[in-house]
Amino acid sequence: MGTETYMDKILEMVSLYGVNIITALAIFIVGRWVAKALRNLTRKMMGGKGIDPIIIGFTCNMAYIALLAFIIIAALGQLGIQTTSFIAILGAAGLAIGLALQGSLSNFAAGFLMVIFRPFNVGDYIEGAGVAGSVEEIQLFTTTLLTPDNKTVIIPNAKLTSDNIINWTVTGTRRVDMVFGIGYDDDIDKARQIMEDILAKDERILKDKATQIAVVELADSSVNFVVRPWVNAGDYWGVYMDAMENIKKAFDKQGISIPYPQQDVHLHTVAE
């Protein structure tokens, strides 16, 4: 077989498949450009409506990947490749990968649901998965909390959403729950007045919500009061610690006792 025969076969193959190859390349290049343009347009439109950046980025990237997959399949089909088999192979590979990454996919699904339904936002103080702290970052697989003692805790989203989530910030206010015990011989009305006066001086305590001061228990060695003022969420610990200290000092000054556990030991002398 001579050189001319080889050239004839090459020309024949180019004439048969050249147009398909050029068309497939055109589909891929133009399709990719259109996918990027649609992604940028979607990001611009969603950004103009004030939608959360996390939702914008996630939606745009997922849409771009889906369009790109469709474009690649269309280009392969133009080359004469049986895309049905190709799609089946991709499906089987996706299933295998999904089984291998089952935990990661559950975290991804949980992160997607949190982004959509927003049980909490960045900056909220929450309690979940046995940890309490301020939300630093919400990612698709994990959520990062900063605890009050400045520890960074990274929680898998699936673990966080599989149990109750307590959001202490979402309503903007919190109730400070405290218990104070006085002796049975002390004046209940006097003790209540002392606590009312202490709390009335604290400007951080909200005046539009009633503060509850009431006897809650007649314990073994004390009469216990519950003290429940309302404060803004950010003032919780400051009010709690200041009230504890100031009420204790006022009780001491006014002669109100705070009982504490005691144990009497009696010694009996046995004559030998």
Check: CATH 2.30.30.60 for 119-167?
yes
The alpha helices in the chain, defined as continuous H runs, are: 3-48, 53-78, 83-100, 102-117, 157-161, 188-200, 236-254
Q: Which of 263, 262, 195 is nearest to 227 (CA)?
A: 195
Count of alpha carbons within 13 angstroms of residue 55, beta-carbon side: 14
**Cβ neighbour number for residue 11 with a 10 Å cutoff:** 11
pTM to 2 decimals? 0.58
The topology under which CATH files domain 173-254 is Alpha-Beta Plaits (3.30.70)
Local structure of residue 9 (DSSP, 8 states):
H
CATH 2.30.30.60 domain span(s) along the chain? 119-167
* Residue where the block lists tokens 């309302």: 230
CATH 1.10.287.1260 domain span(s) along the chain? 3-100
**Along the chain (272 residues), what's the average pLDDT of each consecutive run of 10 residues?**
58 62 80 86 76 70 79 75 64 61 72 84 89 87 90 92 88 94 94 96 93 94 95 93 96 91 70 64
Look at residue 250 in the predicted model and tell me its pLDDT: 96
d(CA 232, CA 225): 23
Local structure of residue 205 (DSSP, 8 states):
B
Helix (H) or strand (E) holding 179: strand 178-182
Sign of the Cα pseudo-torsion (7, 11, 17, 18, in order): positive
CATH 3.30.70.100 domain span(s) along the chain? 173-254
* pLDDT, tens only, 136-188: 988 778 899 999 899 999 999 989 888 889 998 888 899 999 999 999 999 99
Look at residue 272 in the predicted model and tell me its pLDDT: 61
Look at residue 26 in the predicted model and tell me its pLDDT: 82
Q: Which of 242, 249, 243 is nearest to 196 (CA)?
A: 243
DSSP 234-245: GGHHHHHHHHHH
DSSP 29-78: HHHHHHHHHHHHHHHHHHHHTT--HHHHHHHHHHHHHHHHHHHHHHHHHH
Pick 3-100's CATH classification: 3.40.50.720, 1.10.1510.10, 1.10.287.1260, 3.40.50.620: 1.10.287.1260
